[in-house]
């Protein structure tokens, strides 16, 4: 019983982390959509977006 509860708890934590990352990705994508193409902030946001997507990959499997 304890092992099952532990697995369920781990899955819930993983799901919460996945949703948190998805929310952060949406936020960065929105910020990028507001910036002009020549903005100096654009490369920083694009790097952040790529990092968030990389962090999400292992949770999506």
Which tens digits make up the pLDDT trace of 2-60?
778 899 999 999 999 999 999 999 999 999 999 998 999 999 999 999 999 999 999 88
Q: Secondary structure of 38-56 in the HEC alphabet?
A: CCCCHHHHHHHHHHHHHHH
Cα–Cα dist 35/4, whole Å:
47
pLDDT of residue 3: 77
pLDDT of residue 31: 95
Cβ neighbors of 58 (< 8 A, separation 6 or more) are: none
pLDDT exceeds 70 at position 1? no
CB 60 within 8 A of CB 21: no
pTM: 0.82
Pair of tokens at residue 59: 């949770």
CB 28 within 8 A of CB 55: no
């Amino acid at each position: 019983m304890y092992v099952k509860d532990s697995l369920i708890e781990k899955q819930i934590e993983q799901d919460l982390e996945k949703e948190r990352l998805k929310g952060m990705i949406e936020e960065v994508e929105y910020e990028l959509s507001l910036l002009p193409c020549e903005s100096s902030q654009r490369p920083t946001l694009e790097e952040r977006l790529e990092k968030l997507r990389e962090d999400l990959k292992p949770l999506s499997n």
